[in-house]
Structure 1
């Protein structure tokens, strides 16, 4: 810690009361910086009343840095219910709240006018047990498939490339253990400083200068398709092989029709067909072919017929 910056950390915390326990292996805050706040306060002190009225007070916001907690383990009694709630059906309601969390991280850095221009939010392996007596339909079906717990993760990472006025979406992802994952990334141009003042009108006007350049979608199957086929076969008294064959047949027929009507989608259709037949990894990229990218007006014009965008983008797909 110095006069304007702060880093702090904690290793090992445990709170116990009878059978209830909350444990945290580590927690930290890094990069908290109030240099910009001090500078703004100094400038504010020298202003008269008229100048203060137009001062951008968002500049007083410090750089928040990165917060991280890891190794969370919670096992506590469920909150007591009111009399009204207690009279309702409670079958399958867990008597205890149990979960573990491997890691959670939130970074809000590189502020411009007090607003973070680089954001990272990540959660790794939030594990929730599925109660054996749960009455929730989704959880009941999960237990039928042998799933006794859910381990979920997500991520968000984006930043402003100020020199080039680009918005870089590095990652928007969701994943589940033994299920699979979805990951989206992209690039948009025309992302200027007009998005950063606390002025909604200016930000809305700046939207018309924003243009999509490239997007990428990656889907990984790590058991979801197999579980869905197994569940469908159980409910419809079919073998898994029969379900898979029917799914492949119907999907191929529909995809061939799409390819016949939209030849530019031939590559994507073939990749999707392979992914359905042997689901592993499907990657789809779409790049704007125009010098100005895809703007808001282009998207509005194609809202009734998205196929109009095919003349303005190059779509490629692979299945591995």
Structure 2
């Protein structure tokens, strides 16, 4: 057994610590007694001084001596990488590591102390620990206190971490290998003058990684160069950075990670009591080239006497980074602003979309004193798929149970019309779903719909023809030309009366002192006659007029109208431009069907 009582000084640049500690547990390799200046362009440069204190180290059967262990725990990882990768020990226990940080910015001085308690590595063989744990972490900074409970993991591959960053020879490893398993971190607390929070725990089954293609020293050099160059990064440096970034995106893999959420109480900028909480979060498993889904449950924000926002669930769906990675890997050695402009579309990841349920909003209207925005959304979903040049060619957007009060005095004509009908609240749903088919060069409009509970629903479906690949071209001129060439092949409109006509007729009848039942056939006849006149004797006029008469008269609740172009590819831009002057010109170019039931 070895026991030590030391205060050490050493140097490990911030980038090195960030890289290593992103996969290491716990974060014991911290900068030691060092002065750093950042932000030369800022009004006042920031100076920080670090000091690490390790009162004792108790090591049993360790093949590294006291000095080496102390240096490693004080931050000298790179200098001792080879020795650390071959570490053997029955156990290494460090009761306490204290990092003291003093910072100065202009005339403002700040002090912080981080304390790591009960660091323990057990059964370490050739750089791999059967288990690693930390009893807790506390942070005291000015008037803010953090405290986190125990953390632990199994099968912690110290040599594997060092191999990721090229600090030791990885033995030709190119595939993903386990870095640690069974991560468990207890929750903690935050206490500050204006807020107190309780944090839940974090768990994860496994983390895998492979060695990066760029060495640790090279990454540090590139990071430092980018920092020194500020806002005007040299194209050659940017080219190197993009290659590293592309490599990192395929170097890691995780299992699902869960977070038990947090609950905060505090005051807002105006001193009003407020609460903010999230019941829990889950991040799906990350795999090379795919960023995982993130699901958040039970979000609540409330400000006393002001308003509240609640959300049952928010899910950000996975993103496929394959196209992004390919663009980054094929980037030239020198990358300037022009390259980013030319490749902006191909850098866009293929995001699958997002969804949420149970949104409830009650907040002040920022545009109208005394008014409030009150709304609920039962469910909302955006699903995106089949990306081409950064654009999803398969789209599905929907929302259900969109409930809101219709405010007074907005000046909006449609809202004023609804209020005139006595409709002060709505419960609506909508959907937009369309997909491009490359083989047929068509866009299938599966559904464009809008519906209101106890009012009406409108559903439009159809097919757009002549939708070529250029519709999604990176070249904007080509894309615009392709969009102008798209033609309407067919459209089907379905209208369902769920009570709106009764409301309208009741209002009109009241104004005229008449019976709604008496007015229905009158309006039905007027609608039928208007359609027949507008269609100027077209063959389909009589059938369409009869269907509309039946619908308006209340004999049928569903009206379906179909329009199909007589010639290929369909109705184009020129056809619609001519129809602006004379709508009747379209009648000879389409077949119209109608049915009321």
Task: Tell me, yes or no, if structure 1 residue 166 matches structure 2 residue 451.
Answer: no
Find the aligned partners of 2:301 and 2:464 in 1 and give their Cα distance: 46
Aligned to 2:317: 30
Shift in Å at residue 301 of structure 1? 3.8
In the other structure, the counterpart of 2:433 is 157
Given the alignment of the two structures, is residue 314 of structure 1 paired with residue 560 of structure 2, yes or no? no
Moved more, 214-223 or 139-148: 139-148
Residue 345 (structure 2) pairs with residue 68 (structure 1): no
Q: Deviations over 1:244-267 (max 9, x none)?
A: 243234334434545672233222
Q: Which residue of 2 is the match for residue 89 of structure 1? A: none
> Aligned partners of 1:240, 1:136: CA distance in 2, in Å?
30
Instruction: Choose which of 344, 365, 379 in structure 2 pairs with 1:57.
Output: 344
Which residue, 206, 210, 224 being the options, matches 2:482?
A: 206
Post-superposition shift, 1:309? 2.5
Structure 1 213/234 Cα, relative in aligned 2: closer, same or farther at 3 Å? Answer: same
CA distance 1:216–1:141, shift in 2 (3 Å): closer
TM-score between both structures, scaled by the size of structure 1? 0.84
User: Partners in 1 of 2:509 and 2:553 — Cα distance?
Assistant: 17
Aligned 8 A contact 1:264 1:310 in 2: no
Q: 1:290 aligns with which of 558, 561, 567?
A: 567
Q: TM-score, normalised by structure 2?
A: 0.47
| 1:195 equivalenced with 2:471 (yes/no) | yes
Any gaps of 5 or more consecutive residues in structure 1?
87-92
Say yes or no: does 1:18 pair with 2:308. no
Name the CA distance, whole Å, in 2 between partners of 1:186 and 1:71.
32
Q: Matches of 1:56 and 1:297 in 2, distance apart? A: 34
In structure 1, C-alpha distance between the alignment counterparts of 2:585 and 2:396, rounded to whole Å: 34
2:532 touches 2:541 (CA, 8 Å); kept in 1? no
- Higher Cα Rg: structure 1 or 2? 2
Give the whole-Å Cα distance in 2 for the aligned partners of 1:207 and 1:143. Answer: 39
Aligned to 1:40: 327
Following superposition, the deviation at residue 222 of structure 1 comes to 0.6
Aligned length: 306
Equivalent-residue separation in structure 2 for 1:209 and 1:79 (angstroms): 43
Mapped partners of 1:241, 1:259: distance in 2 = 28
1:2 and 2:287 matched: yes
Classify 1:139/1:121 alpha carbon distance in 2 versus 1 (closer, same or farther; 3 Å).
closer
In structure 2, the residue corresponding to 1:107 is in which secondary structure?
Answer: strand
151-160 vs 218-227, which moves further: 151-160
Show the 5 A alignment for 1:162-311. 162-207=438-483, 209-258=485-534, 261-278=537-554, 279-311=556-588
Alpha-carbon distance in structure 2 between the residues aligned to 1:268 and 1:296: 25
Distance in 1, Cα, partners of 2:391 & 2:419: 45
SS in 1 for 2:331: helix
* 1:142 Cα deviation from its structure 2 partner: 5.3
* Aligned partners of 1:186 and 1:214 also within 8 Å: yes
Secondary structure at the counterpart of residue 263 of structure 1: coil
1:50-109 Cα distance to aligned partner (Å, 9 max, x none): x9599543111101212001101122344486xxxx6xxxxxx63x33211111112232
Q: Say which is worse superposed, 220-229 or 238-247, in terms of deviation.
A: 238-247
- 8 Å contact kept, 1:159–1:169: yes
Normalized per residue, the structure richer in helix is 1
Q: What residue in structure 2 maps to residue 90 of structure 1?
A: none
Deviations 1:190-225 (A, max 9, x none): 111111123332123224542221111111111111
Q: 1:297 to 1:77 in 2, by over 3 A?
A: closer
Q: 1:79 and 1:207, CA in 2 relative to 1: closer, same or farther beyond 3 A?
A: closer
1:74 aligns to what SS in structure 2? strand
C-alpha contact (below 8 Å) 2:520/2:552 kept by paired residues: no
- 1:24 CA displacement: 0.4
Q: Distance in 2 between matches of 1:76 and 1:53?
A: 40
- Are 1:44 and 1:55, in contact at CA under 8 Å, matched by a contact in 2? no
